[in-house]
Amino acid sequence: MRWLDRLLARGGGYDRVRVSAIEAVDQDVELEGQVEALSVLVDPIAGEPAVVLDYRARPPGIAQRYFGIHESDGSIGARQAVDFVLRDATGAALIEVERGAEVGELHRRLQDQFGVGLRATVDRVAPGDQIQVRGRVRALIGGSSPHRREPWSVVVSAHELERVQAFAKKV
């Protein structure tokens, strides 16, 4: 699946809006805000919580295993994500993503098979990260009763996401 490739790709055709300004279903939007987790995944290498994991592993090749020579054979990749809330100053949106593969299980199998020769990395989006999401509005949540409302006002099916560059604070 190439879902995270789409998520991490840059594209055009999106209107940058605030959550409170979204008025129509099937509208392409670009939202920026802070990630709030509904549930978390665990980074299999660092043990840190995340809502999106992009796993890359490079098992040792035959030459490396037997002769210590590094070769560039094929790498193994997997992606996993869970739905999350994106909050900006005007409100919150539920961001729906494709689930992907079980990254933790893949890492355990590769580690059992290749041991210390396995070189693996994980890029992750964690709770509290500031990101941009591009996607299509799937639903608007009406507010008929404050007791029956969801904590978000819109549901967006994500097509792309990108981490926002944070500037270091001077202390």
Burial 149-162 (b: 16+ CB within 10 A, else e): eeebbbbbbbbbbb
Does residue 169 fall inside a structural domain? no
Does residue 171 fall inside a structural domain? no
Residue 111 has pLDDT above 80, yes or no: yes
pLDDT, tens digit, 9 for 90 and up, residues 59-109: 876 545 555 444 555 688 899 999 999 999 888 999 999 999 899 999 999
Residue 69 is predicted with a pLDDT of 46
Q: What gap in Å lies between CA 109 and CA 118, rounded to an integer?
A: 11
CATH number of the domain to which 94 belongs: 2.40.50.140
Total domain count, the chain: 1
Does residue 109 fall inside a structural domain? yes
Q: Report which residue type is found at 134.
A: R
pTM of the model: 0.77
Does residue 14 fall inside a structural domain? yes
